[in-house]
Amino acid sequence: MPGWDSIPEAQRPFQRRLMEIFAGFVEHVDVQAGRVVDELDRLGIRDNTIVIYIFGDNGASAEGQNGTISELLAQNGIPNTVEQQIAALDKIGGLEALGSPKTDSMYHAGWAWAGNTPFQYTKLIASHFGGTRNPMVISWPKGIKPDRIPRSQFHHVNDIVPTLYEIVGIKPPKVVDGFPQDPIDGVSLAYTFDDPKAPSRKKVQYFDNNGSRAIYQDGWIAATFGPLVPWLPGAPGLAEWDSAKDKWELYQITRDFSEADNLAGKQPKRLAELQKVFDEQAKANKVYPLGAGIWLRLHPEDRIKSPYTSWRFDATTTRMPEFSAPGIGRENNTVTIEAEIGENASGVLYALGGAGGGVTLYMDKGDLVYEYNMMIIERYTARSATRLAAGKRRIEVTTQLESPKPLSAADVVLKVDGQEVARTKVKRTVPAAFSASETFDVGVDLGSTVSLDYFDRRPFRFVGNIEKVEVKLN
């Protein structure tokens, strides 16, 4: 991973700005949490309210890799360079566009490494605390007497529910709506409230993420890094991974908070015992096959997706999550629209995704326009040579991939009333998803806009009547 000194001077403003945006957002989130606490005070219920503030859900993320204007470039395994990113950013407003609705930015992995100090590694690495450990503060004025002693007992997020159950006197149900419940693995940490030096009651905890794994038992951790290096674009080496060849490490965290002293060579017997415990826990918690998530990085076509091969929508269809919507940007398909348009009609006919990447079809003063936003760094458009005449029109958009392999090129053809009006070649398609939060909309583009062409006109509702939108996978 490059250090700051190795970052070219021309790229440093870009890299600094990405971290500044993150820092600003962290401050914003903290202020909003404070507003909630202030409201509890105003309502007079603060004293008997338990506030559990966990600063994050994992370690700082390296998924920004070399710094990115579109976060899911990494998850899709799309090769790119910083130079490409900056060039694309310059076209949409430069540094001022970072942190705005025009980008889906993520800082350089080096900032994640710094943010996880003193621990090793980052999010997606379950073997070391840089990927898993977060600060936690618990406040309950009526039940906890404040003191300045940090609690060093080992605990996991699965201990939060048992803690609340104990405090409020609830026994977890064994059956819910006729479904037997799995036993709760966590243990209450309420015992630490009054006794900061109490021995830890958490005996065993396993960790696993994309083949990176660890096992904690009674103050010791055995860990192995696994095949995925989150900060390397393209995720190299995954297809050749052999878990049997992974090298394990051993740490005594009661004496080695930051996991700096690897004792695997000095205590091989203890390491072997902990590896056996991991195997037991992995079987009990359905971890096997190990690193199953890696398969989808190599074969995104096997992702969980809708079982349908055809859909019918109308103008009432909005905010349909991308993972439930038809994959019109990654699969062979035909979209057919029956709509009544006016003279010089404008507005979105349909849109999938957002500023970070997506597909949109829209009218612009009578012109029919298609855009494939390939994660901001590439954009492909097709525009009709003449304006569409007013009246009822049948519009077809056909997408044909050249190959079933990830990142395949695709030919996109636009037809109106059976006649071709435009086409474009998409050189690289997005294999998995454009975003983790954007949606499929008909007659409008809600959220951030797929196309910057109508950014200042958002949500750019269609002026006309969309009778139906049919999607068929070819």
pLDDT tens digits, residue range 54-95?
998 899 999 999 999 999 998 898 989 999 999 999 999 999
Given a cut of 90, whether residue 137 has pLDDT beyond it is: yes
pLDDT tens digits, residue range 210-246?
999 999 999 999 999 999 999 998 788 999 999 999 9
Residues 398 and 421 in one domain: yes
Work out the angle between the directed axes of helices 12-43 and 82-91 (0-180°, nearest 10): 70
Given a cut of 80, whether residue 406 has pLDDT beyond it is: yes
Residues 245 and 208 in one domain: yes
List the domain range (segments joined by +) for residue 435.
310-473
Given a cut of 80, whether residue 277 has pLDDT beyond it is: yes
Of 265, 295, 325, which marks where a domain is finished? 295
* Mean pLDDT, the chain, integer: 96
Residues 236 and 324 in one domain: no
Residue 288, C-beta contacts closer than 8 angstroms, at least 6 positions apart: 282
Side-chain-side CA neighbours of residue 431 (13 Å) = 22
Q: Give the whole-angstrom CA distance, residue 193 versus residue 82.
A: 48
Please, what's the largest Cα pairwise distance for the chain?
A: 81
Given a cut of 90, whether residue 300 has pLDDT beyond it is: no
Residues 318 and 230 in one domain: no
User: 73 lies in a domain?
Assistant: no
258, 119 Cβ separation under 8 angstroms: yes
What is the pTM for the complete model shown? 0.92
Q: Is the dihedral of CA 231, 233, 239, 240 positive or negative?
A: negative
CATH number of 349's domain: 2.60.120.200
pLDDT at position 29:
95
Given a cut of 80, whether residue 305 has pLDDT beyond it is: no
Of 237, 260, 295, which marks where a domain is finished? 295
Count of domains observed in the chain: 2
**pLDDT-above-70 percentage for the chain:** 100
pLDDT at position 234:
79
Residues 253 and 336 in one domain: no
